A and B are shown apart, each in its own frame.
Chain A
């Protein structure tokens, strides 16, 4: 039993685990983001390269992986320095100008907050994972009871856990890059709001997108606009625009509650793109916030047929197409208020349709168990779109300041996860617990974020937003991949606890014969 445990550290002799431990956590907790960003990833990439080579012997792959690892290191550095630069500039510029210009001050605060939030999320994740490994480590020592051989074992197992966790994480990042080819995406209701932002984000990730909406005019306008965005994206990306070479956008008018239209949409997508990888049922309707009595027949009918009938018909059509595809496909249904089952007064109809969709999802999960079609949910949280804002009161708007996000921000988080989704039944959420925590912590900063006291919108119009956003985008391209990477460090916690359990068992069994 002991020999088996020794196997793992022996193969990695070059790493002095005690040193690694001492530098690892202290660097992270002590000095913050920059050093943790640069030190840890390079260490991890070392591990991952080793492992990947031993797992797969393909030469071509290795080269790719090495390149990726290099770029990962570079990106890490680049990102760290970028953040520090912008942080210092905002601190210096923002607070200096405070008295002179409130507008610039607000901008600076928003920028500062954005920087801090991304840094805080990263640091928080590392701290939490490291602390939990530390706790288990301490428990391990407690259990070993000072026995030097056993405490050595605990150290080895801790290191083993970290290595396995990072390897799995790194593998995911690498796999994402290996599968970086363009995906074919269909998004319903994508001429406004979140749908449009998602379409744009997919497009700029190099995917082929089908835009669909009820009115043919708005579809045409959206396609033109997205093509324009794509062109700008290619220019700003310059030489590295290779991944945009296959990107294209097409559109068709489609009323999701008409079975004929939905079929037409599926056929159109197949004839234009060949196959469909991802189908997003984004079309949704809500007719304002008021009691059920004040909804007209037509309102209720539209909400039900768009949200429930539309999603069911689209899902079925997508399944029919994807079942026959060798690669299968993934279907996303959008969550909304009420999905979780909590009551939604004033939007009773909308809430109950969204709750019904959750049930549909769980039933489909069972029906699709053996097929290659994945059914997932995506939850955008609260997004500043017409759906949310129509008929919202002043008080609502004050609340929106804290928790709402611009559609582009949400899309940027959701799209990379949607692109690499595997299996079935995944939930891709924007409002994860750390984000909610952050929103609560920074509530005082967010008071006048989107709406002022009179409920007037303070955020820029879509076109202006996009101009600023295009510049940011290239710089932060790797952040989401990094986020996914740290999430998998949890595996190390898990593996470590398994090893601990194993040690407990082995130590008790060795004690029993003696007594």
Chain B
């Protein structure tokens, strides 16, 4: 599962996200024993209707500490499900799908986004499916320092602590143009959301998790350009995503330097997802081909990513990871299958001519 193949084909579209050049710790397989444990807890949680978060998590800590005594070697409270998850920019697209998947797995989720009404409707529809006391929502513009601080205090009020913080909020202003034609507002929005917002969120998340007995894990979502492949037509977006991966790397080094043991930074690569962000760029023939071949709907991606994300705190390791949905092998096999199976995936999402 820990695939780190390198793609070097120049024919691959720049839209292809999978990271290859940087060397990271290969992702560890979930502990075999723990898989079972995971499943059993899933059943129990789903059998309980409307569980009270505080008391239930308290009992879980007790139970789990018996099961996984070996993980709590360094005096830190072991991190056991259900996890408290915070996802930024999670009222649509990947963020929403991730939130849904975490809820399915029995975790508690805080969602947020810029628009109050989208938060309201998203919380409403999630509560219909998963019950009242499992999901909370608030408005937060990640570009504003105060908003992010408010988000943290909101999370502390509702859930006391956060185990998994996913920095998902991102924007490309839904425009794919050469830089010389891009507008001021678009460029500023892209950079401030993707770069500034991410930095503010990372800072607040680290600050919050340093004081948590359970520690925490921060996941930054990468994107096109984070592997250093050129991203013409969305140069500003690519630049911010490359800087996001670099930020993760620098912060990992920083945390290590400061000898922080309870906070870990990770990268998360969703590959190509059929959200508004990607589909607004489906204008050229090449882009359409790659979207049809490689892109997946957010639900599919989330279904793959969430168990992998959950396995990170579950196996107790604080090593940095890089979780990828679209690995090199996968991308290649899909491209070849299209070539040989005469267009099995043709015209899947957008019409090619």
Residues of A at the B interface (CB closer than 8 Å) are 259, 291-293, 295-297, 300-301, 304-305, 308-309, 312-313, 315-316, 319-320, 323, 338, 341, 343-349, 351-353, 355-360, 362-367
Contact of A312 among B203, B236, B258 (CB under 8 A): B236
Which segment of B85-93, B240-248, B278-286, B294-302 sits at the interface?
A: B240-248
Q: Which 7 A-B pairs have the closest CB atoms?
A: A297-B145, A356-B243, A259-B184, A363-B235, A359-B242, A355-B246, A348-B250
Residues from chain A with a CB closer than 8 A to the CB of B230 are 359, 362-363, 365-366
Known pairs A323-B180, A345-B256, A351-B247; list 10 more (Cβ under 8 Å). A296-B145, A304-B196, A305-B192, A343-B253, A345-B257, A348-B254, A356-B195, A359-B235, A362-B230, A367-B180
Contact call A292/B232, Cβ cutoff below 8 A: no
Residues from chain B with a CB closer than 8 A to the CB of A344 are 246, 250, 253
Q: Quick one: which of A323, A348, A356 has the most chain B CB within 10 A?
A: A356
Contact of B191 among A292, A304, A367 (CB under 8 A): A304
Q: Which residues of B, 195-249, contact A by the 8 Å Cβ criterion?
A: 195-196, 199-200, 202-203, 206-207, 210, 225, 228-236, 238-247, 249
Contact call B247/A359, Cβ cutoff below 8 A: no
Provided the pairs A352-B243, A363-B230 are in contact, do residues A309 and B249 lie with their beta carbons within 8 angstroms?
no
Contact call A292/B246, Cβ cutoff below 8 A: no
Query: In whole angstroms, what is the CA distance A165 to B243 when docked?
Result: 40
Contact call A341/B228, Cβ cutoff below 8 A: yes
Residues from chain B with a CB closer than 8 A to the CB of A356 are 195, 239-240, 242-243, 246
| Nearest chain B CB to A424 CB, angstrom units | 13
Query: In whole angstroms, what is the CA distance A305 to B199 when docked?
Result: 12
Contact of B195 among A304, A316, A358 (CB under 8 A): A304
Indicate the size class of the contact surface on chain B.
35 or more
List 12 interface pairs A-B (beta carbons < 8 Å), by A numbering.
A259-B188, A291-B254, A292-B206, A292-B254, A297-B145, A309-B188, A312-B179, A356-B195, A359-B242, A360-B239, A362-B230, A363-B232
Contact of B252 with A by CB under 8 A: yes
Residues from chain B with a CB closer than 8 A to the CB of A304 are 191-192, 195-196, 199
Which residue of the partner chain B has the closest CB to A309? B191
Provided the pairs A343-B253, A344-B250 are in contact, do residues A309 and B192 lie with their beta carbons within 8 angstroms?
yes
Contact call B240/A308, Cβ cutoff below 8 A: yes
| Nearest chain A CB to B19 CB, angstrom units | 12
Query: In whole angstroms, what is the CA distance A259 to B246 when docked?
Result: 26
Query: In whole angstroms, what is the CA distance A312 to B239 when docked?
Result: 10
Provided the pairs A259-B188, A295-B203, A312-B187 are in contact, do residues A352 and B239 lie with their beta carbons within 8 angstroms?
no
Residues from chain B with a CB closer than 8 A to the CB of A353 are 195, 243
Contact of B178 with A by CB under 8 A: yes
Provided the pairs A292-B203, A362-B230 are in contact, do residues A312 and B191 lie with their beta carbons within 8 angstroms?
yes
Q: Which residues of B, 257-303, contact A by the 8 Å Cβ criterion?
A: 257-258
Number of A-B contacts (CB under 8 A): 153
Residues from chain A with a CB closer than 8 A to the CB of B182 are 316
Provided the pairs A312-B191, A316-B187, A366-B232 are in contact, do residues A345 and B243 lie with their beta carbons within 8 angstroms?
no
Residues from chain A with a CB closer than 8 A to the CB of B187 are 309, 312-313, 316
Residues from chain A with a CB closer than 8 A to the CB of B192 are 304-305, 309
Q: Which residues of B, 141-192, contact A by the 8 Å Cβ criterion?
A: 145-146, 178-180, 182, 184, 187-188, 191-192
Contact call A320/B180, Cβ cutoff below 8 A: yes
Which residue of the partner chain B has the closest CB to A360? B239
Residues from chain B with a CB closer than 8 A to the CB of A315 are 179
| Nearest chain A CB to B14 CB, angstrom units | 8
Query: In whole angstroms, what is the CA distance A296 to B249 when docked?
Result: 21
Contact of B339 with A by CB under 8 A: no
Query: In whole angstroms, what is the CA distance A319 to B187 when docked?
Result: 15
Contact call B258/A291, Cβ cutoff below 8 A: yes
Contact call B239/A308, Cβ cutoff below 8 A: yes
Contact call B243/A359, Cβ cutoff below 8 A: yes
Q: Quick one: which of B206, B210, B239 has the most chain A CB within 10 A?
A: B239
Provided the pairs A297-B145, A360-B236, A363-B232 are in contact, do residues A292 and B243 lie with their beta carbons within 8 angstroms?
no
Query: In whole angstroms, what is the CA distance A363 to B202 when docked?
Result: 26
Query: In whole angstroms, what is the CA distance A292 to B202 when docked?
Result: 9
Residues from chain B with a CB closer than 8 A to the CB of A343 are 246, 249-250, 252-253
Residues from chain A with a CB closer than 8 A to the CB of B71 are none
Contact of B250 among A345, A360, A362 (CB under 8 A): A345
Q: Quick one: which of B22, B187, B206 has the most chain A CB within 10 A?
A: B187
Query: In whole angstroms, what is the CA distance A118 to B200 when docked?
Result: 46
| Nearest chain B CB to A513 CB, angstrom units | 41
Q: Quick one: which of B187, B229, B236, B258 has the most chain A CB within 10 A?
A: B236
Contact call A363/B199, Cβ cutoff below 8 A: no
Provided the pairs A367-B178, A367-B235 are in contact, do residues A300 and B225 lie with their beta carbons within 8 angstroms?
no
| Nearest chain A CB to B181 CB, angstrom units | 9
Provided the pairs A304-B196, A304-B199 are in contact, do residues A316 and B180 lie with their beta carbons within 8 angstroms?
yes
Residues from chain B with a CB closer than 8 A to the CB of A308 are 191, 195, 239-240, 243
Which residue of the partner chain A has the closest CB to B22? A341
Contact of B61 with A by CB under 8 A: no
Q: Quick one: which of A304, A323, A338 has the most chain B CB within 10 A?
A: A304
Query: In whole angstroms, what is the CA distance A196 to B112 when docked?
Result: 45
Query: In whole angstroms, what is the CA distance A347 to B249 when docked?
Result: 12
Contact call A359/B145, Cβ cutoff below 8 A: no
| Nearest chain A CB to B53 CB, angstrom units | 28
Which residue of the partner chain A has the closest CB to B148? A297
Which residue of the partner chain B has the closest CB to A353? B243
Contact call B246/A338, Cβ cutoff below 8 A: yes
Contact of A357 among B146, B225, B239 (CB under 8 A): B239
